[in-house]
A and B are shown apart, each in its own frame.
Chain A
Amino acid sequence: MASREQDGCFLHAGFLRSAARHPDRPALSLRGQHWTYAELDELARRLAAELIGSLGRPPGRVGLLTNKSLVSYVGMLAILYGGGAVVPLNRTFPVSRIRVMAMTADVDVIVTDTDADSAGQPEELTTADWQPRVVVLSEAASAPRLRTPHTPAEEDLAYLLFTSGTTGTPKGVPISHGNIAHFLHNNTGRYDFGVDDRFTQIFSQTFDLAICDIFSAWQSGGCVVPLDAIHQLAPFRFVREQGITVWCSVPSTVTLLRHKGLLTPGSLPTLRWSLFCGEVLTEENADAWQLAAPNSTVENLYGPTEVTITSLAHRWDPAGSPRSGGEGGVPIGTPHPGVLTMIVDAYGRPVGPGEDGQLCLAGPQVFSGYWRAPELTAAALFTAPDGTGVSRTWYRTGDLVRRLPDGEHVFLGRTDHQVKVHGMRVELGDVEAHLKALPGVGQSAVVALPGEIDGGVRLVAFVVGPDLDAASATGLVDALRGRVPNYMVPQRLHVLPEVPLNHNGKTDRAALMELAAHPSDRKVTP
């Protein structure tokens, strides 16, 4: 295995190496069109030159407002080649949310393409006080090519992603080239990816698992084969016809396929690797997928965005993996090389062997702190010695885990009110804050119930306001759709005369869960 230095200590090092070694191999296959490494490299150099030319200087943080288009892939490379950092922006999000992310990131330019649809157009982001520079890139860029792609330092920012924040404002998670280089180097050692591998790229490019798909493929000389959302629901023909060998998705995709009765044994024979992340992988789903993809190795991956994509992994063995009988699902595994784990109690003290506690992570994949949010950073990071007495910066994941005697970890739940909807983090406080900001809403509370179809969660909201009644509910949900992404919109909204309180005077979430699960005539549904 190559050393980390040989792999390169920056995000696009693997692509550059593959472009040099395998210029004629396919790097991207998108809706029937194909681009080789040499072709993508050439396009990226031209777009980087155009970007630099339009700014009159190397780019800083660059908003990338496009998804699964040629420019979305080449644009990533072009931004990195030009010396910038990528700030992926999701065009399907409400404009107000995109604007907050772009403004918080303080992007100096937004890159988009001519493949724009009706939603999330760059000009919609403009306000009287904020007019971002917009550069529309296309493959027809005529600028002379950039001769030498930028070589960033390890501490330089590679990308900045946003996750749900408890106060209604998304949190920026900056990941450095050193962070991501360490992650990709671990992947090189863990998997045998090669030039013949073809990677599904399922996730939106604003999700860090997309970074994993794209750059793992390019690091190994493989090909990125984006999968449209609809094909996730019946991927069999796509996987077969495209010769897909590496699958990476959230586990709820498996639940949906099983629910529809489509996941049959042997239906995914070309897969060599099946990677699941972002949610609890149940043993039933792991078993069913293993039967459907008998030639693949199934892995359950775990990791918060703050510790660079994934930090632990469990290689599923239908016969040998620990079976919990349901609690926590498949183990989240053991830490990647270099990643350190510590499990602490509610007072921050390390727990004893086999005891439950909050998982904390340290090592070269840990981010440096939330983007321009020192208070959030202070709450999330702390300094403490590791097992050898060396002082480390630890990240509090908020995840409750237990370490099994064999060193594997099992996920048990959360210490707070964060939930996952299709793998995407949602702070219930984020939704509550946006509800409370709507006209007429005095109080709001949101709870998460088990989903009926996908095995995930569904959100149920409660609001209180003197002038709210049955007719208000639909309007409030519609208004909320204009403020938060679709996955954060509650499936039901109930109007209550008051929010129930527990004996501490806080919102009684248990009572709300009961109300949500067993609606009565005290509530109003849209």
Chain B
Amino acid sequence: MTPSSDTIVDVIAAALDIPVDEVVDELAFQEIPQWDSLAHVSLMLRVEEFYGVPVTGDLVVRLTSVAAIRAFGAACTAESR
């Protein structure tokens, strides 16, 4: 995670090397050239670090959109309360 990664949007933007304003809920794996297999692994590692929750194999294949990552984050936050 980069020092400027204050939000999950920053994390995703940094992992995919795209502008923050392109990180919208509808954005999904392989929809843009930058979100390929390699970037997805990098993204999952950053998501894991950001939320402090392990991203298992099943999650790797489920967290394939910004919306899914946000929902995962919301669930992590709710669980930790």
* Interface check A126, CB cutoff 8 A: no
Q: Contacts A230-B29, A234-B57, A236-B57 known; A256 to B38 CB distance under 8 Å?
A: yes
| Closest-CB distance, A454 to chain B (whole angstroms) | 5
Name the CB-closest residue of B to A485: B33
| Chain A residues within 8 Å of B33, by CB | 481, 486, 489
| Cross-chain contact B30 with A234 (CB below 8 angstroms) | no
Q: Mark A463-496, 1 if CB is under 8 A from B, else 0.
A: 0000000000000000001000011010100000
| Cross-chain contact B58 with A234 (CB below 8 angstroms) | yes
Of A237, A259, A486, which one neighbours B36 at CB under 8 angstroms?
A486
| Cross-chain contact B40 with A233 (CB below 8 angstroms) | yes
| Cross-chain contact A262 with B58 (CB below 8 angstroms) | no
Name the CB-closest residue of B to A234: B57
| Chain A residues within 8 Å of B29, by CB | 229-230
Interface residues of B in 14-72 (CB under 8 A from A): 17, 29-30, 33, 36-38, 40-42, 44-45, 55-58, 60-61, 64
| Cross-chain contact A234 with B60 (CB below 8 angstroms) | yes
Tell me whether chain B's interface is mostly helix, strand or loop, or mixed.
Answer: helix
Q: Mark A75-118, 1 if CB is under 8 A from B, else 0.
A: 00000000000000000100000000000000000000000000
Q: Considering the chains assembled together, what is the distance between the CA atoms of A234 and B36 in angstroms?
A: 14
| Cross-chain contact B41 with A229 (CB below 8 angstroms) | no
| Cross-chain contact B38 with A230 (CB below 8 angstroms) | no
Name the CB-closest residue of B to A231: B61
| Cross-chain contact B30 with A229 (CB below 8 angstroms) | yes
Number of chain B residues whose Cβ lies closer than 8 Å to a Cβ of chain A: 19
Q: Considering the chains assembled together, what is the distance between the CA atoms of A489 and B39 in angstroms?
A: 14
* Interface check A453, CB cutoff 8 A: yes
Interface residues of A in 229-245 (CB under 8 A from B): 229-234, 236-237
* Interface check A260, CB cutoff 8 A: yes
Q: Mark A249-280, 1 if CB is under 8 A from B, else 0.
A: 00000001001101000000000000000000
Q: Contacts A230-B61, A234-B60, A237-B57 known; A260 to B37 CB distance under 8 Å?
A: no
| Chain B residues within 8 Å of A231, by CB | 61
Q: Considering the chains assembled together, what is the distance between the CA atoms of A446 and B10 in angstroms?
A: 29
Of B17, B38, B55, B57, which one neighbours A454 at CB under 8 angstroms?
B38
| Cross-chain contact B60 with A453 (CB below 8 angstroms) | no
Q: Which of B41, B44, B57 has the most CB of A within 10 A?
A: B57
| Chain B residues within 8 Å of A262, by CB | 56-57, 60
Q: Mark A407-446, 1 if CB is under 8 A from B, else 0.
A: 0000000000000001000000000000000000000000
Number of chain A residues whose Cβ lies closer than 8 Å to a Cβ of chain B: 22
| Cross-chain contact B60 with A260 (CB below 8 angstroms) | yes
Q: Considering the chains assembled together, what is the distance between the CA atoms of A256 and B29 in angstroms?
A: 16
| Cross-chain contact A233 with B36 (CB below 8 angstroms) | no
| Chain A residues within 8 Å of B30, by CB | 92, 229-230
Q: Considering the chains assembled together, what is the distance between the CA atoms of A454 and B37 in angstroms?
A: 10
| Closest-CB distance, B32 to chain A (whole angstroms) | 9
| Closest-CB distance, B64 to chain A (whole angstroms) | 6
Q: Contacts A230-B29, A260-B45 known; A453 to B38 CB distance under 8 Å?
A: yes
| Cross-chain contact A237 with B64 (CB below 8 angstroms) | no
| Chain A residues within 8 Å of B44, by CB | 233, 260
Interface residues of A in 178-235 (CB under 8 A from B): 229-234
Q: Considering the chains assembled together, what is the distance between the CA atoms of A486 and B36 in angstroms?
A: 9
| Chain B residues within 8 Å of A454, by CB | 38, 41
| Cross-chain contact A234 with B61 (CB below 8 angstroms) | yes
Name the CB-closest residue of B to A491: B17
Q: Considering the chains assembled together, what is the distance between the CA atoms of A132 and B30 in angstroms?
A: 28
Q: Considering the chains assembled together, what is the distance between the CA atoms of A232 and B64 in angstroms?
A: 13
| Closest-CB distance, B52 to chain A (whole angstroms) | 15
| Closest-CB distance, A366 to chain B (whole angstroms) | 32
Q: Mark A483-517, 1 if CB is under 8 A from B, else 0.
A: 00011010100000000000000000000000000
| Closest-CB distance, B71 to chain A (whole angstroms) | 17
Q: Contacts A229-B30, A486-B33, A486-B36 known; A260 to B61 CB distance under 8 Å?
A: no
| Closest-CB distance, B33 to chain A (whole angstroms) | 4
Q: Which of B45, B58, B60 has the most CB of A within 10 A?
A: B60
Q: Contacts A486-B33, A486-B36, A489-B33 known; A233 to B41 CB distance under 8 Å?
A: yes
Name the CB-closest residue of B to A452: B42
Name the CB-closest residue of A to B59: A234
Q: Contacts A230-B29, A260-B45 known; A237 to B37 CB distance under 8 Å?
A: no
| Chain B residues within 8 Å of A260, by CB | 41, 44-45, 55, 60
| Chain A residues within 8 Å of B55, by CB | 260
| Cross-chain contact A256 with B37 (CB below 8 angstroms) | yes
| Cross-chain contact B60 with A233 (CB below 8 angstroms) | yes
Interface CB pairs A-B, < 8 A, 23:
A92-B30, A229-B29, A229-B30, A229-B37, A230-B40, A230-B60, A230-B64, A232-B37, A233-B44, A234-B57, A234-B61, A237-B61, A256-B38, A259-B41, A260-B44, A260-B60, A262-B60, A422-B37, A453-B41, A454-B38, A454-B41, A486-B33, A486-B36
Q: Which 3 A-B residue pairs are closest in the complex by CB-CB distance?
A: A234-B57, A486-B33, A234-B60
Residues of chain B having any CB pair with chain A under 8 Å: 17, 29-30, 33, 36-38, 40-42, 44-45, 55-58, 60-61, 64
Residues of chain A having any CB pair with chain B under 8 Å: 92, 229-234, 236-237, 256, 259-260, 262, 422, 451, 453-454, 481, 486-487, 489, 491
